[in-house]
Amino acid sequence: MKLNPLLPIPLQQLEQTDQWLTLRPLNSNTDMLLVLQLWVSAGWLRPLDHAFTAFLAEQEPTVTPTVLLAAALTSYQLSHGHVCLDLALSIEQPAFTLSLTHQFQQQPWFPSQLLKQIKLHEWQLAIEDSRLVSTGEQQAPLVWHNGRLYLWRFWYYEKLLTIHINQRLNTTLLPPKDLSARLNKLFNNNNDKPDWQKIACAIATRTAFSIITGGPGTGKTTTVIRLLALLQTPAVEAGKPLNIQLAAPTGKAAARLSESIGMQVASLKIDEQVRSYIPTSVSTLHRLLGSRPDTRHFQHNKTNPLALDILIIDEASMIDLELFAHLLEALPTQARLILLGDKDQLASVEAGAVLGDLCRNAEQGFYSPETLKWLETTTGEALNSLPLKAGNNQQHPLAQQTVMLRHSRRFASDSGIGQLAQQVNTGNIKQARHLLEKTSNDLRHLMLNQPNDKAFEQFILQGSQPHDGYHHYLTILKKQRPNNTTPIYDPAWKQWANQVLSAFNQFQVLAVLREGIWGVSELNKRIAYHLYHHGYINHFDGWYEGRPVLITHNDYALGLMNGDVGITLAFPIENAPEQTVLKVVFPYNDGTQNLREVLPSRLSSAETVFAMTVHKSQGSEFSHTALILPDQLNPVLNRELLYTAITRARHKFTLIESQQRILDEAIKRQTVRLSGLAF
């Protein structure tokens, strides 16, 4: 039987043919495409990767099989967040580089077995000689650069990023003349030594690009508010206020920043006129750039740049390479771009880990003698005594504009949560286990056999504190609910709804996966059933009072963003108080107590959120966070995901697992997204 290399091939069907014995994928393009199709059928390669490779084979019939293999692997790498394929690493460490699970390492004709037959030098020569590949000077499907193979579009984005950031680093902007005095006035109550927030503000005044990174509670938002006051005050005094814009990658992150900034600007001791010129509303990056439906393009670009003087972007770790490139193209040359984010958090869902790449040297410092002298003179902070590595302006230009905040105000020095996050971040399995197993006020460890364990049911229902379990918000929902005879316009209804929302945000279950017995889909059903069984809610499917929902797509008509969380509540109908109508209430997240009330029928993209994925939780924090690990390893499970989950907790963190080895293996795994970004 002759197999078609363009059609799905079940593994057992291939094994039943003589073709299995005669496949020579490194000698025949047809055999190579058959092997790629086998990978698709096995669930390792995407159909898109195979289709792209088959298209290249049609365009260039004389292409060698090893070039087709490289093209398929390059396309596949994008699905795992990598911008390119590193050929040497693919041969030396195929399991690590290509995210191979055990089953894909052992089967004949699977990547690790196939790559053993390839010599790196010959593979590189074949790629360099192919008409499908260029060095970037001419447009071609693939680009070969410094031992890495790119799809042309992503090579272009990376080159664009490098050019624009270097240009901004070389764009010197004049800081305020009395910078030292202004800094001292803004930071006169800060006892940190050295005061990294003050240092960050000083550095950000010098050029058109700077980065402020740091873990939870290190004061990134506080720093940027004072920076805006520092820059806007002299501009307002001169009668030329700066146009400042604030943005974040997602609607949820934008809402959280709006809420935080709104409160901090109001409490800042500055001139009222200056305060009026510091924005408190935050836009999503897509809305700021003006996304065009069904295209990759934006209204604002290099020919139609944004009209602004300063752009602050929060949660920058979530920005992918493509969006970052579009953003830089749309920025005016003299505009200041300031990135805020935690370099150790989960990277973007799409290809690229831009903030992680840019902050590669943040912890070591690499400040030049000139930078250190300027900082000490300007800020009065002593840095020479710190264990920072020496750098110079030529080899480490980006380091001179990067500051890592190091003093956490969220976690005390003896905080179990803070220590656990640090041990996970450094890959210390033994110490992480020790912290989880010893008695601690803010850490808890729970072993379960399956999600319907009585221990899990009890954990979900109630605990000793208001932020333990989901009983707290449901108790407030029932016991503090106004009487139905209370007019619907009475402020008591709004106060009650805010109390329920606040109580729900005290506790949150996080999961790694969407599907499976430990995934959010199954967990949400299980938790809802437990709550129903014990009388906390009157239904466990459909729409019911008490149902928490997560918005999964931006809805600009309703003013709801991807990641917004609301609670379904029953309100009396005006003039018919004995009847009620269900409405989903959402906070505005702007520091006020205002609410959006939406009929469930208008929510086309909402799902129950007793449990949410760690990815969806980015930008949020809860009094008590519980992370449930799956019973099997998964490629998305790594130390960055663990760190992100742990640091969502403010007062208490619970780890729930059924297999101890899962946590240990996850701590071993560190996300390394391959790219060529270097500064």
Please tell me the predicted confidence (pLDDT) of residue 129: 92
216 is in an annotated binding site: yes
Architecture of domain 176-405 in this structure: 3-Layer(aba) Sandwich (3.40)
CATH 3.40.50.300 is right for the domain spanning 416-549+608-668: yes
Contact 407, 432 (CB under 8 A): no
Identical topology for domains 176-405 and 416-549+608-668: yes
214 is in an annotated binding site: yes
217 is in an annotated binding site: yes
In the chain, where the domains are located: 11-160, 176-405, 416-549+608-668
215 is in an annotated binding site: yes
Please tell me the predicted confidence (pLDDT) of residue 52: 94
Locus of tokens 């690499």: 366
Ranges of the chain with pLDDT below 50: 1
Please tell me the predicted confidence (pLDDT) of residue 661: 84
3-class DSSP assignment, residue 306: coil
Contact 381, 192 (CB under 8 A): no
220 is in an annotated binding site: yes
Query: For the whole model, what pTM was predicted?
Result: 0.82
DSSP string, 118-181: --HHHHHHHHHH-TTEE-SSS--SEEEETTEEEEHHHHHHHHHHHHHHHHHHT-B-PPPTTHHH
438 is in an annotated binding site: no
User: Which stretches of 259-355 are assigned E, i.e. beta strand?
Assistant: 283-284, 310-313, 336-341
CATH superfamily of 11-160: RecBCD complex, subunit RecD, N-terminal domain (1.10.10.1020)
Please tell me the predicted confidence (pLDDT) of residue 560: 80
DSSP string, 4-15: PTTS---HHHHH
Please tell me the predicted confidence (pLDDT) of residue 102: 61
Please tell me the predicted confidence (pLDDT) of residue 1: 47
